[in-house]
Chains A and B, each alone.
Chain A
Amino acid sequence: MILKTSLPVILGYLPVGMTFGLLAHQEMFPLHVAMSLSLFVYAGSAQFIAITFLSHPPFSLFQVFFTIGLVNLRHFMLSLTYLPKTKEWKWWEKVRNFFFLTDETFAVLINEDQVNKDADKSFLVSIINFGAWNLGTAIGHLGGRFIPDPKLFGLDFALTALFLGILALFIKTKAHFLTFCGSIFLSVVFYGYLDLGKNSLIVAALLSSLLGFLWEQRRV
């Protein structure tokens, strides 16, 4: 039952984890840095964003905190939604399990009440998913050394392509698409035309998310 619950996540985490390892290798991250990100941060899109930060020093810690925090803010709703399922758990079991609550783990757990009533079973699902992600990262990083020149294969586009793929998964409504277009427009204006630097990208992101959200509210 536990393995059955985890299987879709394993199938997704192995290849995407490998992509992360490969990109980290391509940006000259040593294995221990790539693994530290997967072991301790363990948050898909945030880790890919981490690559863009860490590969372009100097970066401000405030900027890192703000960007990663905002991207992961949606986990807040996931945790909040999962919380009622865990009423019978001890407090330390909650802390232990929620630490590993990614989008995908949440997605497979939320409707598995047979698993959720036992904190250890839920933890096992989380840990198997975590293992798949880290195994993928290691394989990707170690495999990376067999690829000579990334530019030769268009691999310098891989991170952008991956972001676009993740974006496509997040975009579910017209309002989401408006946020996407608005963010691109504002970012080109702020970062390109006005040359306001990388922090202005976060401002563009926040403004466009508000724009998309407000447009969505206006229609109902």
Chain B
Amino acid sequence: MGTTTSVALAIMVMVVATQVSRLGPLMLSEIKFSKSFEKWLSHVPIGILAALIIPEFISRGERGFEYNYLFIVATVLCFTLGVKTRNLMLTTTVGVIVVALLRYSGLF
């Protein structure tokens, strides 16, 4: 983790970043946003969450980068399960167990 000051600052920045969206609309109650804007917004968290898992799959070495195949296999399984069950706890738990099992299977 970072230093105490940088973490405290980051948390404050996060509070502002969150509340801009939650409290912002109170100031402009009359403005109507288009359906398109709303549609685009539903794509944004997907793009961000998908992008943020990528550093977990790629490790940088001296000669370019390497894929973490264990995590890639687990991700495919985990994501499929998530879409099928839409159960957050189940998906997370199974994902963790799959990684543990694959690690000791000697395949990776």
Contact = CB atoms under 8 A, between A and B. Distances in A.
B71 A157 contact: yes
A134 interface: no
Given A68-B18, A154-B99, A166-B49, A36 B40 contact: no
A201 B2 contact: no
A210 interface: yes
Report whether over half of chain B's contact residues are helix, strand or loop; otherwise say mixed: helix
A139 interface: no
A175 B36 CA distance: 13
Contact of B46 (A73, A155, A171): A171
A192 B46 CA distance: 20
Contact of B44 (A70, A155, A187, A193): A70
- Contact-residue size bin, chain B (C-beta under 8 Å from the other chain): 35 or more
A24 to B, nearest CB: 10
B53 A163 contact: yes
A68 B13 contact: yes
A145 to B, nearest CB: 17
A64 interface: yes
Given A55-B1, A57-B2, A154-B99, A98 B45 contact: no
Given A59-B10, A61-B13, A191 B58 contact: yes
Contacts of B25: 76, 79-80, 83, 98
A58 B75 CA distance: 27
A180 B50 contact: yes
B55 to A, nearest CB: 7
B39 A183 contact: no
Interface in A158-204: 158-172, 175-176, 179-180, 182-184, 186-188, 191-193, 195, 198, 201-202, 204
Contact of A41 (B18, B53, B54, B103): B18
Report whether over half of chain A's contact residues are helix, strand or loop; otherwise say mixed: helix
Interface in B50-108: 50-58, 60, 65, 71, 74-75, 78-79, 82-83, 86-89, 91-92, 94-101, 103
Interface in A196-220: 198, 201-202, 204-210, 212-213, 216-217
A167 B9 contact: no
Contacts of B13: 61, 64-65, 68
Contacts of B46: 167, 170-171, 176, 179-180, 183, 208-209, 212
The 7 A-B pairs with the shortest beta carbon distances in the complex, nearest first, are: A161-B95, A168-B82, A154-B99, A154-B100, A205-B47, A165-B91, A57-B2
